[in-house]
Amino acid sequence: MASTSLLKASPVLDKSEWVKGQSVLFRQPSSAAVVLSNRATSLTVRAASSYADELVKTAKTIASPGRGILAMDESNATCGKRLDSIGLENTEANRQAYRTLLVSAPGLGQYISGAILFEETLYQSTTEGKKMVDVLVEQNIVPGIKVDKGLVPLVGSNNESWCQGLDGLSSRTAAYYQQGARFAKWRTVVSIPNGPSALAVKEAAWGLARYAAISQDSGLVPIVEPEILLDGEHDIDRTYEVAEKVWAEVFFYLAQNNVMFEGILLKPSMVTPGAESKDRATPEQVASYTLKLLRNRIPPAVPGIMFLSGGQSELEATLNLNAMNQAPNPWHVSFSYARALQNTCLKTWGGRAENVNAAQTTLLARAKANSLAQLGKYTGEGESDGAKEGMFVKDYTY
């Protein structure tokens, strides 16, 4: 059985339901339990909390046709690198100005269903004094929150890492829910050049599963992100082999932790050759390998597959997504992009107030392109040279 409970189909939240439900949704979760017994033993297993129906509705809202996720959860340090690339100092005022530009782009909710925020942004107001969360909700965009505390060296491994942040997570997710977040994100990574070791894979999978269970208990839909890094010279078959093992481990531990599959979203890497490989893959090859892996490893109960771009160019990420949507899939196959949505937008803005409208137009064009790709209708016409620029950074951290 894929989850701890079988739920009736729930409708996607429309804007009126979402806004109207804000006061109702601020409540404390209650516990439920399922008793499993046989002649010899009796085992009590914690089941989905009273948030179960809400989790399903939120996941379906995010995984709605023609829409995907804007990942704008860069840490302050990484946001500083972005600002530095356009000659701006890394100050809270500059971060606020850029994030205001993103969330207030007119009509963004037509293409974007969810926005992942950094903690600063969740509690931040726009330059006009309005809460960022409120601006998103008015655009029919579900606010989300990055909850992991970053990667640190994994002792006993082959120079690999593990993701920290489980300590205190329950109290933090409860506070984030009260602040208006309705989904969460936890990113862990696996490196192919460094193995990956069985230890690193198990640690990544267990951490994701514990985070997912805690998030659901607080009313947040967990985005499960086991990123297979692009670093390396390996071919696409090696990527497939590693991803197959990682995804199997992740879903094994999700089940072990009684995570409700209907109330999660998966944010995986696409199956591609390593960034330094001599062999390049066409969008059709990427789609073939990736969809095969999804069919072999991901339960259809999972409502949405929200791919990360992982250093692909804006154009490449959109073309690959479009190729995966040329035939119906059991899941909503969409995007959760950061640089692949923001790169040209950031350069267009350049930190100048007079460029805000042009930058927002660029962001909307990129979002629309990926919306069309989610529907399998993207043609690639009219793309700029900037959209073709690769964004892979070796040993990238954020």
Q: Domain for residue 96, yes or no? A: no
Cis peptide before 196 (omega within 30 of 0): yes
At 393 the three-state DSSP class reads coil
Measured CA to CA, the distance from residue 92 to residue 146 in angstroms comes to: 18
Structure-token pair, residue 231: 């670093």
> What pLDDT does residue 381 have?
75
Q: Domain for residue 113, yes or no? A: no
Whose tokens are 């009684």? That residue is: 258
Q: Flag residues of the chain having pLDDT under 50.
A: 1-12, 15-47, 391-393, 396, 398
> What pLDDT does residue 10 have?
42
Residue 385 burial class via C-beta count within 10 angstroms: exposed 0-12, middle 13-18, buried 19 and up: exposed
> What pLDDT does residue 152 have?
94
> What pLDDT does residue 195 have?
83
- Residues 321, 307 contacting (CB under 8 angstroms): yes
Which is the catalytic residue, given 54, 160, 203, 225? Answer: 225
> What pLDDT does residue 64 have?
98
> What pLDDT does residue 377 have?
97
> What pLDDT does residue 392 have?
42
Q: Domain for residue 24, yes or no? A: no
Measured CA to CA, the distance from residue 78 to residue 283 in angstroms comes to: 29
* Per-residue pLDDT tens digits for 33-59: 444 444 444 444 444 568 999 999 999
Print the domain residue range for 372.
Answer: 51-65+146-380
Q: Is 131 a catalytic residue?
A: no
Measured CA to CA, the distance from residue 338 to residue 377 in angstroms comes to: 22
Residue 386 burial class via C-beta count within 10 angstroms: exposed 0-12, middle 13-18, buried 19 and up: middle
Q: Look up the CATH number of the domain holding residue 316.
A: 3.20.20.70
Which is the catalytic residue, given 60, 160, 267, 383? Answer: 267
Distance, C-alpha 215 to centroid of its chain: 14
> What pLDDT does residue 148 have?
96
Q: Domain for residue 248, yes or no? A: yes
Q: Domain for residue 12, yes or no? A: no
> What pLDDT does residue 384 have?
60
> What pLDDT does residue 383 have?
63
Q: Domain for residue 337, yes or no? A: yes
Q: Is 267 a catalytic residue?
A: yes
- Which residues, listed in sequence order, are joined to residue 337 by a DSSP beta bridge? 70
What's the number of domains the chain is made of?
A: 1
- Which residues, listed in sequence order, are joined to residue 163 by a DSSP beta bridge? 151
Q: Domain for residue 282, yes or no? A: yes
Q: Domain for residue 217, yes or no? A: yes
